[in-house]
């Protein structure tokens, strides 16, 4: 099933500001400049009595007004990024006349899509595009914006699903799933053991470090394989509670960094005293 664009609405934020607003980008924002916007297609199910004409005359204006009101609470998303030659770094600038494109789509069905005709003939789709430079995905703002948009448009039943989830992938027979439960006493013993076996005095043994080091070591040993096999460990670190001065609670910009670590399986084996 393909989607055709039937209209692009330019929606402005519902504020009375007459002067532009400037929002300088932070260090964390700059790291996201190279990323492409995140795009989501939202499905709206129309009632049996809704017609094609009523959608454009009644429903669409209501959704556009709701988006305008929602943007008032998320002004940076209606601006654009600008980097003047004399400025050391780019910034987000929001003009009173700034608008956000809202793409309204309709499906194009092939012969294989015939069972879906009854659904898509009474549905509309909106494409939401958000850039990571001005929004912190870790706090779920994308979902909050959609919730607010749904609330403002009069849809109070946010749990209704009109689109079924795709079928789950088949699980291989050789897949093993393990759940590890580490108590406070287990964590304490792991910290003490690490201190006793290490010659370093500058170890930072937080609960997070100890747990992930232990689990990662177990996974590497359980998988086995070539001793020179590369290992990659990646996680997201939230810095909102680690900065001085502290970040305001209302801040929804980027404050999360991916931590990516590469090493060889040989390093784990030698550290554990294993030869395989």
Domains (range + CATH), the chain: 2-152 (3.30.559.10), 184-272 (3.30.559.10)
Give the pLDDT score at 130.
Answer: 56
Give the pLDDT score at 44.
Answer: 63
| Angle CA 224–230–231, to nearest 5 | 75
Give the pLDDT score at 109.
Answer: 42
Question: Over the Cα atoms of the chain, what is R_g?
Answer: 25
pLDDT profile of the chain (276 residues), mean per 10: 72 79 81 74 66 74 81 78 85 81 56 38 49 52 60 56 68 79 93 87 88 86 79 85 83 80 76 54
Which residue(s) pair with 80 in the sheet? 93
Instruction: Give all strands of the β-sheet with 91-94 in edge-to-edge order.
Output: 21-24, 91-94, 80-82
Give the pLDDT score at 117.
Answer: 35
Give the pLDDT score at 186.
Answer: 94
Give the pLDDT score at 122.
Answer: 41
Give the pLDDT score at 188.
Answer: 94
Q: Is the pTM of this model over 0.85?
A: no
Lookup: tokens for 5: 């664009």
Residue ranges of alpha helices (H) inside the chain are: 27-30, 52-54, 60-72, 117-120, 141-152, 184-197, 207-223, 265-272
Give the pLDDT score at 136.
Answer: 53
Lookup: tokens for 70: 């929602």
Give the pLDDT score at 12.
Answer: 81
What is the C-alpha separation between 101 and 7, in angstroms, rounded? 10
What is the C-alpha separation between 12 and 76, in angstroms, rounded? 12
């Amino acid at each position: 099933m393909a989607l055709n664009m039937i209209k692009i609405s330019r929606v402005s934020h519902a504020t009375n500001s007459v002067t532009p607003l400037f929002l300088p980008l932070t260090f964390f924002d700059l790291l996201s400049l190279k990323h492409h916007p995140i795009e989501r297609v939202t499905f709206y199910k129309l009632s049996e009595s809704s017609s094609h004409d009523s959608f454009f005359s009644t429903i669409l204006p209501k959704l556009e007004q709701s988006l305008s009101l929602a943007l008032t609470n998320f002004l940076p998303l209606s601006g654009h990024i600008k980097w003047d030659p004399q400025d050391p770094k780019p910034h987000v600038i929001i003009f009173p006349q700034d608008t956000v494109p809202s793409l309204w789509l309709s499906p194009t069905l092939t012969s294989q899509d015939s069972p879906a005709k009854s659904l898509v003939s009474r549905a509309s789709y909106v494409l939401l595009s958000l850039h990571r430079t001005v929004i912190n995905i870790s706090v779920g703002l994308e979902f909050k914006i959609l919730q607010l948009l749904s609330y403002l448009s009069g849809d109070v039943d946010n749990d209704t699903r009109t689109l079924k989830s795709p079928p789950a992938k088949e699980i291989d027979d050789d897949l093993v799933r393990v759940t590890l439960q580490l108590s406070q006493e287990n964590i304490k013993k792991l910290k003490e053991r690490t201190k006793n076996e290490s010659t370093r005095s500058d170890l930072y043994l937080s609960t997070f470090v100890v747990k992930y080091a232990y689990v990662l070591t177990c996974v590497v040993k359980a998988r086995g394989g070539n001793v020179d096999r590369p290992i990659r460990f990646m996680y997201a670190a939230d810095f909102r509670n680690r900065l001085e001065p502290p970040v305001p609670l209302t801040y929804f910009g980027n404050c999360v960094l991916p931590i990516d670590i590469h090493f060889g399986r040989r390093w784990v084996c030698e550290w554990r005293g294993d030869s395989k």
